[in-house]
Structure formats: structure tokens, C-alpha cells
């Protein structure tokens, strides 16, 4: 596809009417930053319009990039297990990412995750804002530092403030916790078990406000 000139904001690719299907369709053609050239496809958020909880991660991973669906890889499976353990109905949730293309670099035959930069996050942010506007979730959960800082400001520290409800204009309840992929990357089994337990505890706090 020939490249369209871009002003570096996803907003220029917005449809006339903001609905989830029209946003998803429009996002498929987004070229507001260079990541569209690297990823296989745009990975837009998924879930129903009336979802009560919105989970926001950093960006799609390898499996998400190939399938076009968010949170379907190992981290997504861990999130699903955590939701089940915390007693949160998966159908009440909407899952998405701050950046909607997979940023990666080659290592041998593998594609290794590369953190999106500030310009890419800023270019992609209008899609997330539009998702928030359409869904109006009661609870937003930022997963990991990139999502937390994009939603709650650059000074926010997940290490210090995870699992706390933060006052925000974005939704009645806003919380940040770790990204499940960080649990999978834990250096040993004991740390992984501990981090997994803390993650479930955070999800249980979330479950309490959903009652
Ligand atoms: S990462 Fe976001 S802003 Fe960049 S091309 Fe993809 S959808 Fe557009």
C-alpha cells in the first residue's frame, strides 16, 4: 500500500462516526507512526461495548501480531487465568494496548519485543482515547509501566503504586499492576510464584469494586 503522508497522530485516520467496528476498521489502515511497516497488522482492542473493565497493556506481542487479536499469547493466557481465579467474568472486560502495532527487532529467527518510544505512544494514543470514549468503563487497569505512565503520567511508578486505586478523570476506578509478561520473565520459580500471587491479589481488589 502506498504510504500516506501523516501528521503523526492516529486521529487523522479516524472514521466519521466513533463506534467500535468503525474504529477497528479505520485503525487497520493507520500509518500515523512507522510501526505499521514492522507489524503484520493493527491489533485493535477486543471486548464488548458495555464492558465494565478495560485492561490496557503496552503493545501486542508476537502471537497477537500474527492473529490480529490482543492478549492471546502467553501473557494473555495468564491474564485469563488470573481473571478466573479472582472471579472476574471475562465477558465483562475489554482488552487493548497503548500501541496497536507490534514493535520488534530480529534476534536470529525470533522477533523480540522492543519497547515503543514516546513518539509512537503519542501517535497511537487517540485510538485508546476513542476506545475509552466509546466503552466508558467503570474500571481501567493499566498493565505494566508503559500503560500506567501513558494513562497516569510519566511520574507514576508501578513498583510503588501497584494495586492502589488512583484518582483519575478517566474512570471511577483506575488501577495499575504489572504486565503479566513480566511474571513470565521472572528469573526463577519462586519469584514467579510470588509475582503471580501478587497479581491475583491485585485482580481480587478489582473484583471487589465490581460487586
Ligand atoms: S502503532 Fe498506532 S499510531 Fe502507529 S501505525 Fe500502528 S495504529 Fe497507527
> Per-residue pLDDT tens for 177-190?
999 999 999 999 99
> Per-residue pLDDT tens for 12-61?
999 999 999 999 999 999 999 999 999 999 999 999 999 999 999 999 99
The CB of 27 under 6 Å from ligand 1? The reply is yes
The pLDDT, as a whole number, for residue 211 is: 83
CA–CA separation, 78 and 122 (whole Å) = 28
The CB of 35 under 6 Å from ligand 1? The reply is yes
The CB of 124 under 6 Å from ligand 1? The reply is yes
CA–CA separation, 105 and 202 (whole Å) = 32
The pLDDT, as a whole number, for residue 112 is: 94
Confidence band, pLDDT 50/70/90 cuts, at residue 5: low
For the CA of 59, the closest atom of ligand 1 is 1
CA–CA separation, 197 and 191 (whole Å) = 10
Does the pLDDT value for residue 138 go beyond 60?
A: yes
The pLDDT, as a whole number, for residue 4 is: 55
The pLDDT, as a whole number, for residue 61 is: 95
Average pLDDT over residues 150-161: 96
The pLDDT, as a whole number, for residue 3 is: 53
Amino acid at each position: 500500500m502506498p504510504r500516506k503522508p501523516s501528521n503523526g497522530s492516529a486521529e487523522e485516520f479516524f472514521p466519521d462516526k466513533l463506534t467500535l467496528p468503525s474504529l477497528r476498521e479505520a485503525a487497520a489502515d493507520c500509518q500515523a507512526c512507522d510501526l505499521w511497516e514492522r507489524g503484520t497488522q493493527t491489533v485493535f482492542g477486543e471486548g464488548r461495548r458495555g464492558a465494565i473493565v478495560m485492561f490496557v497493556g503496552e503493545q501486542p506481542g508476537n502471537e497477537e501480531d500474527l492473529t490480529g487479536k490482543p492478549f492471546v499469547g502467553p501473557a494473555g493466557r495468564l491474564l485469563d487465568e488470573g481473571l478466573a481465579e479472582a472471579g472476574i467474568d471475562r465477558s465483562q472486560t475489554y482488552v487493548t494496548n497503548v500501541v496497536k502495532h507490534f514493535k520488534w527487532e530480529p534476534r536470529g529467527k525470533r522477533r523480540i519485543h522492543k519497547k515503543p518510544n514516546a513518539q509512537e505512544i503519542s501517535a497511537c494514543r487517540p485510538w485508546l482515547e476513542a476506545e475509552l470514549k466509546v466503552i466508558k468503563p467503570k474500571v481501567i487497569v493499566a498493565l505494566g509501566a508503559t500503560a500506567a505512565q501513558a494513562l497516569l503520567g510519566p511520574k507514576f511508578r508501578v513498583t510503588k503504586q501497584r494495586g492502589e486505586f488512583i484518582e483519575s478523570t478517566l474512570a471511577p476506578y483506575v488501577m495499575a499492576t504489572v504486565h503479566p509478561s513480566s511474571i513470565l520473565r521472572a528469573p526463577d520459580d519462586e519469584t514467579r510464584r510470588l509475582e503471580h500471587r501478587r497479581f491475583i491479589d491485585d485482580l481480587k481488589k478489582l473484583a471487589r469494586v465490581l460487586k
